[in-house]
């Protein structure tokens, strides 16, 4: 709700270690209602996460001022969802963290709260769009009972929309959160490793969405071999067709040449095989790439081909291009440097 809550300016995230978590149904505007519970949290020297319909006015200003002064660490976020669905999601959060969701219908007033009514978690990470709760302190039996209840609601639901939203809630409760620690000897190496882990995470999400294909350029090569042009193509269409076929061979050709092999020979040998058979540049062997763990997300391969076609179309409609000047041919290999002396 405010950039002043940010604890990590580089990533613009709020990171709270071992926080108390207050889940409140209504908007919080009056700081007087919050003061009693704030005093209890400050005495424990722990941060506080407030999840409510909204926090504004005097209440938000007071939280921000205390955060800036270093009196205590806190963050306020808007509750997810709307209407009855919001209420159900807030109950999910309360059960996950071992606290109580403060609803007006229950007759619980904000000023009467104790620490026992607040949830706990090992860590909470808040960015512009998401709030991630890691290792909530809720009881396993309570969480399991809640999961079973949501599953029963899914089986009884007749609405596709309601079923989709229930499945989202189920995934958040049952799926959990994984934490990956990345370390290295130097900061630059650590950043590079972290970037690789993030790439792997995005690739995994893409694979979950649309599945996987054999990697190493094999999927595009096999796709190109099954494409059959129309019976009659104009000269320009034939040129375009051949360009697409060559482009589909390019990834495997480049991988092979980077591994010191002849790209053309490798492509033909892979085409002689079937299904997942391909060239593993790491081990310099021909094998089943899926079994060897050489895979690509279907979404990444499809998107790359679509983006390449989009760029090619844009280039065809351009009057002029700015490109690097090709280097004039000189002596190849390291021996070409000797005539400098």
**Model confidence, pTM:** 0.56
**Range(s) for CATH 3.50.7.10 in the chain?**
3-138
Give residue-wise pLDDT tens across range 260-299. Answer: 888 888 888 888 888 889 888 888 888 888 888 888 898 8
pLDDT classification of 124: cutoffs 50, 70, 90: confident
- As a dihedral over the C-alpha atoms of residue 74, residue 78, residue 79, residue 82, rounded to 10 degrees, the angle is 170
Q: Which residues in the chain are classed under CATH 1.10.560.10?
A: 212-316
Question: Which span out of 27-41, 76-90, 292-306 was modeled with the highest average pLDDT?
Answer: 292-306
Distance CA 211, CA 209 (A): 6
Q: Over 70: is that where the pLDDT of 335 sits?
A: no
Helix extents (H) in the chain: 31-44, 57-69, 83-97, 140-156, 160-175, 187-210, 218-226, 235-258, 263-272, 289-292, 298-316
Per-residue pLDDT of 290-301, as tens digits, reads 888 888 898 888
Query: How many other C-beta atoms are found inside a 10 Å radius of the C-beta of residue 253?
Result: 18
Question: What is the CATH number that goes with domain 3-138?
Answer: 3.50.7.10
- pLDDT for 150 equals 86
Q: Which CATH homologous superfamily contains domain 212-316?
A: GroEL-like equatorial domain (1.10.560.10)
The share of the chain scoring above pLDDT 90, in percent, equals 1
Report, as an integer, the average pLDDT of 100-127: 82
């Amino acid at each position: 709700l405010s950039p002043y809550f940010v604890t990590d300016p580089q990533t613009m995230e709020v990171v709270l270690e071992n926080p108390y978590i207050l889940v409140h149904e209504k908007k919080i505007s009056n700081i007087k209602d919050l003061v009693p519970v704030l005093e209890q949290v400050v005495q424990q020297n722990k941060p506080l996460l407030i999840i409510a319909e909204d926090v504004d006015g005097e209440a938000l200003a007071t939280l921000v001022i205390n955060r800036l002064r270093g009196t205590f660490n806190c963050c306020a976020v808007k509750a997810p969802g709307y209407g009855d669905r919001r209420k159900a999601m807030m109950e999910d959060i309360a059960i996950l963290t071992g606290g109580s969701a403060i609803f007006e219908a229950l007759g619980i007033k904000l000023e009467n709260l104790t620490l026992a009514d607040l949830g706990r978690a090992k860590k909470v990470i808040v960015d512009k769009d998401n709030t991630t709760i890691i290792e909530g302190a809720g009881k396993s039996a309570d969480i399991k009972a809640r999961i079973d209840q949501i599953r029963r609601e899914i089986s009884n639901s007749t609405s596709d929309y309601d079923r989709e939203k229930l499945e989202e809630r189920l995934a958040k409760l049952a799926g959990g959160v994984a934490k990956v620690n990345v370390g290295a000897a130097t900061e630059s190496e650590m950043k590079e490793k972290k970037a690789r882990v993030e790439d792997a995470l995005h690739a995994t999400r893409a694979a979950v969405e649309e599945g996987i294909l054999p990697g190493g350029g094999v999927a595009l090569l096999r796709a190109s071999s099954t494409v059959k042009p129309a019976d009659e193509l104009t000269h320009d269409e034939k040129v375009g067709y051949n360009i697409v076929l060559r482009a589909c061979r390019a990834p495997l050709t480049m991988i092979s040449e980077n591994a010191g092999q002849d790209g053309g020979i490798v492509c033909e040998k892979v085409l002689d095989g079937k299904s997942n058979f391909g060239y593993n540049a790491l081990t310099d062997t021909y094998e089943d790439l899926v079994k060897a763990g050489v895979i690509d997300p279907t979404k990444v391969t499809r998107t790359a081909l679509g983006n390449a076609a989009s760029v090619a179309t844009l280039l065809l409609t351009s009057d002029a291009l700015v490109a690097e000047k090709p280097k004039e041919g000189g002596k190849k290999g390291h021996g070409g440097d000797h005539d400098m002396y």
